[in-house]
Structure 1
Amino acid sequence: MQYQISGTVMQTVAIDLAPGETVYSQTNTMAWMNDQVRMDTHTGGGFFAGLKRSFGGGSFFITDFTASGAGHVAFAPRFPGTIVPALLQPGQSLICRKETFLVAQKSVTLELAWQKRLGAGFFGGDGFILQKVTGPGLVWLDLSGELVERDLAPGEKLLVHAGHVGVFEPSVGFDIQIVQGFKNVLFGGEGLFLATLTGPGHIWLQSMPILNLAEEIGRYLPRQGGDTGSGSAAGGLAAGAALGAAGGLLGSLLGGDS
């Protein structure tokens, strides 16, 4: 299996498959493929497996891409970012935020990663439900914006805006810490809590939380009844954005993701 990552801001990963090789992705990420690749969409282990994946922020269905000959298939993320390849050894895992999984070899497992500390879940915004990928095999993860990697020494702590947490090794502790100072909470715009990452272990941070991007785009969407409206399509888009924002309001406030 060979692959090539192309692009800068909107990257794609193109994978060449030998006959019989399979990769899988969550729905709506395949960009193109040749006629030697067969698609098979399923729940990935039954109804409850799909339900758990949906609860974790993924898609209910997953799609296998299997080569019958010399296969070629490409995948593209749904937002600007950086594709990170990781070759996992047997039993080796990575913890990633729910939207980072792009595609993986069939031998890689994808499952929920529940946090041991409930506080990290209830007050960490997106931190409560993370995903875990476990080898052996190749996995491609997608982080929004640019990528920053750091190695944390044992006991070293890094306070991170929750939206910038991308991927970390299981040896890294994940928790939340309340922002100190009334003015910081009220006027700082960082939310009530910050994520705390504690070493040892490797971490991957992302420079542009997708909710921040969505919020900035929302500022330029036409408002119904305003003088910048561009028809019913724009109004529907604005309404959809408003519904999505309302759905994530609580988690964004607590986790400081928007």
Structure 2
Amino acid sequence: MAAPFFSTQFQPYVYQSQQAAMIPFQILGGEAQVVQIMLKPQEFVIIRPGAMCFMSGSVEMVNIFMPENEVGMWHWLFGKTITSVVIRNTGSSDGFVGIAAPSLARILPIDLAMFGGEILCQPDAFLCSINDVNVNVAVDPRARNVMGSAEGFLRQKLTGQGLAFIIAGGSVVQKKLDVGEVLTVDVSCIAAVNSTGDNMVTATLTGPGIVFIQSLPFQRFSQRIARAVTSPNMRENPKFFVQIAIFFILAYVVIVSSLILTDV
């Protein structure tokens, strides 16, 4: 039996770029990947704080504020850093830097020029960038699009004509939607989407456009680890729930007693 035909097939993500003069890079590893970027003298990359893994001796790292990146109230409210790290080769020979994903994630190089100079990503997707890339915060006010976290309505909007590296969990596939084509995706599985049309980062996407889908969002991964850590402890300690019940009973008795004594 022949395989079913799809008008626009799901495909593994393949990096494409129309820019001839691009800084060379190499992505290493399988699940928790590292991108190694080669830097000629005075060339630099911008990375998220805490992402640097290794670098050559001629490369220096400086933590600076990027005024072109709109951070504002939302970054401050959720405890996000409002600075960026600039890694520059200050030597006279070629250098390199290794930038690691902060979790079990794959690194996707995105040439923004191939996507109309703008792409919308999941929160904290940005890893590093080369040349003209601005990182801004977008707020999705629609409740149906909020993911299960305190910052679930925040998105990262990458703009410019440079090369950005973003992270995604599990396996990553991309799908190009034709005009009028509809695709329903779990919101947390949308790693990135080019922001054309009205349905940006919604559970129902309508073409035209390209969407990058991740099979294992970090929220699911962290929740599974949390359940695996806490559940065995509760099974091994059946008195846990009894102790909790006794605690609340004693607290209730203390509160009621204090109220009675106050009235007297």
What TM-score do the two structures reach when normalised by structure 1?
Answer: 0.71
In the alignment, what sits opposite 1:191? none
Amino acid of the structure 2 residue aligned with 1:101: F
Q: CA deviation at 1:61?
A: 2.0
Aligned length: 208
Q: CA deviation at 1:49?
A: 3.6
The C-alpha deviation readout for 1:50-97, integer Å capped at 9, x for no partner, is 655455885322100011122210111112122111222296111111
Q: Give the 3 Å change call, closer, same or farther, for CA 13–48 of structure 1 in structure 2.
A: closer
Separation of aligned partners in 2, 1:152 and 1:44: 35
Structure 2 residue corresponding to 1:28, chosen from 34, 50, 54:
50
In the alignment, what sits opposite 1:195? 203
Unmatched segments (≥5 aa) in structure 2? 1-22, 238-264
8 Å contact from structure 1 (residues 58, 99) kept in 2 = no
Mean alpha-carbon deviation: is it higher for 62-71 or for 127-136?
A: 127-136
Unmatched segments (≥5 aa) in structure 1? 177-193, 230-258
In the alignment, what sits opposite 1:86? 110
Separation of aligned partners in 2, 1:106 and 1:83: 18
**1:68-83 pair list within 5 angstroms:** 68-69=90-91, 70-83=94-107
Separation of aligned partners in 2, 1:171 and 1:77: 28
Q: Give the 3 Å change call, closer, same or farther, for CA 52–145 of structure 1 in structure 2.
A: same
Q: CA deviation at 1:42?
A: 1.9
Q: Give the 3 Å change call, closer, same or farther, for CA 137–32 of structure 1 in structure 2.
A: same
8 Å contact from structure 1 (residues 15, 72) kept in 2 = yes
In the alignment, what sits opposite 1:65? 87
Larger radius of gyration: 2
Separation of aligned partners in 2, 1:154 and 1:47: 32
Q: How many percent identity over aligned positions? A: 27
Q: Give the 3 Å change call, closer, same or farther, for CA 46–83 of structure 1 in structure 2.
A: closer
What TM-score do the two structures reach when normalised by structure 2?
Answer: 0.70
Provide the secondary structure at the position in 2 that maps to 1:83: strand
In the alignment, what sits opposite 2:130? 105
Provide the secondary structure at the position in 2 that maps to 1:145: coil
8 Å contact from structure 2 (residues 69, 134) kept in 1 = no
Question: What do you get for the CA RMSD once the two structures are aligned?
Answer: 2.9
Separation of aligned partners in 1, 2:129 and 2:200: 28
Q: Give the 3 Å change call, closer, same or farther, for CA 203–112 of structure 1 in structure 2.
A: same
Separation of aligned partners in 1, 2:200 and 2:49: 30
Separation of aligned partners in 2, 1:47 and 1:99: 14
Separation of aligned partners in 2, 1:47 and 1:154: 32
Separation of aligned partners in 1, 2:25 and 2:236: 45
